[in-house]
Amino acid sequence: MEQYPDYQTYEKLYKRFYSRPAGSLIELVGSVAGKRVLDLCGGSGRLSLEAARLGAEEVVLVDREERMMGLPAKLNPRIRVEVDTVDSYIKSSVKDKKQFDFIFCQQAVNYWLCEEIASFLAAFLRGGGVFVFNTFNKRPPEKPLVKEYQLDGDNFVEVSWLVGDIVHHVQVREGMPCHLTSFHWLSPERLARMLNPYFLLDVKVEGGASLYRCLKK
Ligand SMILES: C[S@@+](CC[C@H](N)C(=O)[O-])C[C@H]1O[C@@H](n2cnc3c(N)ncnc32)[C@H](O)[C@@H]1O
């Protein structure tokens, strides 16, 4: 996968993806006050910062790209940042028996969630723990799909297409270099098969996006 730009460039280039506030994922678990929170692929730290603001006792932000991690998150005493891939962090931390009350992954689960990792995830959660993520629920087409729109007076173009089970996505904003990224298509059926053995699923469908609340069994 191609590297992400620094977090300030990312926020401008992917402006449309900021329409869902981090708080809307946090709401699904009720209160995070006094709880231990893991923010996987946390990027700039918008969800980690919100969890810290809401009184989480400790927040661990994991992202494989240090330049995607925002300074406010790095400087927040309640947030510990770990530059690592989800796969390596989960496999190494499970041995240390680290546990969290809540695990979040906003707009990034398609990079890493698979049957093997799903089997480790529940071990990371305390009893009654919850894993929350959002993802898209419509299979992208093989023929490249072009979306053009304007935001803040700037022109944007997105091109997405599927090759096998890999989605390729090009993000363009006028005046900026483009960004190309690739991730897995995870169908609702595959997600249910991989998560059902470990979690009770509650899925909220909002058009082309789904919000998953996975309660540890
Ligand atoms: C679309 S951004 C989302 C960032 C943040 N969650 C948000 O909603 O603003 C995806 C993030 O996932 C990170 N990422 C992608 N694959 C990863 C992996 N395997 N392990 C850790 N981080 C990963 C990228 O570096 C990037 O910061």
Is the pLDDT reported for residue 202 higher than 90?
A: yes
Asked whether 134 lines ligand 1 (CB < 6 A), one says no
| 34 and 16 in a common domain | yes
| 163 and 74 in a common domain | no
152 domain residue, yes or no: yes
Is the pLDDT reported for residue 179 higher than 60?
A: yes
2 domain residue, yes or no: no
Expressed in angstroms and rounded, the spacing between residue 113 Cα and the centre of ligand 1 is: 12
| 203 and 114 in a common domain | yes
| 169 and 93 in a common domain | no
Question: How many domains are there within the chain?
Answer: 2
Is the pLDDT reported for residue 52 higher than 60?
A: yes
| 175 and 101 in a common domain | no
91 domain residue, yes or no: yes
| 151 and 88 in a common domain | no
| 152 and 77 in a common domain | no
| 125 and 39 in a common domain | yes
| 114 and 46 in a common domain | yes
CA distances from 148 to 4, 17, 135, 151, 160 (A): 21, 14, 21, 10, 12
| pLDDT bucket at 2, cuts 50 / 70 / 90 | confident
Q: What is the pTM of this model?
A: 0.96
CB-neighbour burial class of residue 157 (10 A; exposed 0-12, middle 13-18, buried 19+): middle
Domain containing 77 — which CATH number?
3.40.50.150
Q: Cα-flanking dihedrals φ and ψ of residue 149, to 5°?
A: -160, 170
1 domain residue, yes or no: no
Mean pLDDT of the chain: 94
| 202 and 155 in a common domain | no
**pLDDT at site 3:** 86
Q: What domain range is 12 assigned to?
A: 7-137+186-216
For the four alpha carbons of 74, 75, 76 and 78, in that order, the dihedral sign comes to: positive
Kindly give the pairing relationship between strand 199-206 and strand 209-216.
antiparallel
26 domain residue, yes or no: yes
Query: Which residue among 92, 111, 132 has the greatest number of ligand 1 atoms within 8 angstroms of its CB, and so is best to mutate?
Result: 111
Q: For residue range 63-86, what is the model confidence (pLDDT) as tens digits?
A: 999 999 999 999 999 999 999 999
| 164 and 57 in a common domain | no
Q: For residue range 4-40, what is the model confidence (pLDDT) as tens digits?
A: 889 999 999 999 998 777 778 999 999 999 999 999 9
- Measure the CA–CA gap between 151 and 101, rounded to whole angstroms: 37
| 193 and 177 in a common domain | no
Look at ligand 1, atom 13, and give the residue with the nearest C-alpha.
41
